[in-house]
Amino acid sequence: MNNVIAELTEDEAISVRRNNGTSLNVEFIRSLRVNRSSVERRCTALSGRRTVKKEHQAAWLLKAISCMDLTTLSGDDTPARVRRLCAKAKQPISRELEEKLGVTSLKLRVGAVCVYHEMVATALDALKGTGIPVAAVSTGFPAGLSPHRLKVMEIEDSVADGADEIDIVISRRHVLNADWTSLYHEMRDYREACGRAHVKAILATGELGTLTNVARASWVCMAAGADFIKTSTGKESVNATLPVTLVMLRAIRDYYALTGNRIGYKAAGGISKAKDSISYLILLKEELGDEWLSPKLFRFGASSLLGDTERQLEHYVTGAYSSSNRHALA
């Protein structure tokens, strides 16, 4: 088992340079089309395959944990809750379970902790010395309807407070109105305001209407300098799905072929079951290759996913399912 885990959980030392973007080609953006039937057929075929089992499943689940952004974005967030979440980020599964799996040497941790601006300082203090990035949501999250100058100031404040990553939300109206120039300039302003911090562009795909719009918005945000493109805020009625993921991954693949820049992908919202996380990882591997199987280039926006994943790992080593309340996050 250890060999299987080592093979699937190793985070290769790949070099990921910042995405400086490209000029906007509006005619190219307008020419993009997505065949929904083909996309859905590809995703149905993926979910219809025999699932991975035993030590292979355990290895994939450990990989999923390393790519999670543990997240708390509630109106009743408190410093105590954030500190508990950070403690879980540093030790995502129990030491006893690590020993039973034989993975203590992995020094398993999550990809990042994601909070509102008010909790950035608390998270940074709780994670000091761990190397785990702190991400802050910004730009009027989740609706993105604040005045533009306030959105830029909000980014600058989070960066000044020490946030390593900024998750911005785009103005959906630009996509729905096919105003690609406005979306491009908006994203460029966000990228500039982020400075040293990596920027993840949240497309809110459930509110964009069509898969073609998802593809076009992905390309515009990457051209404007986004380091990651992300599905959802988690607050929409429809969040991450495999068809949306496939469209975004292929946009990333084509952008890499054109520019040589690897753009990250974050699936957020609605992924709460461990078995579903494996489907996303396999789709990522098949579409983009092993280089993207790293927290540098792939994340889950997770709030409840870690609990079910730890529960499945415990079932693997004990043969019995534990109660879900034994795996609370915060």
Return the active site residues: 167, 230, 266
Q: Specify whether the CB–CB gap between 152 and 189 falls below 8 A.
A: yes
CA–CA separation, 40 and 106 (whole Å): 36
Q: How far is CA 322 from CA 51, 117, 304, 318, 325, in A?
A: 22, 35, 15, 9, 8
Q: Specify whether the CB–CB gap between 11 and 106 falls below 8 A.
A: no
Q: Specify whether the CB–CB gap between 137 and 116 falls below 8 A.
A: yes
- Report whether the peptide linkage leading into residue 142 is cis, meaning its omega lies within 30 degrees of zero: yes
- Half-sphere exposure of 48 toward its Cβ, with a 13 Å CA cutoff? 6
Q: Specify whether the CB–CB gap between 223 and 229 falls below 8 A.
A: no
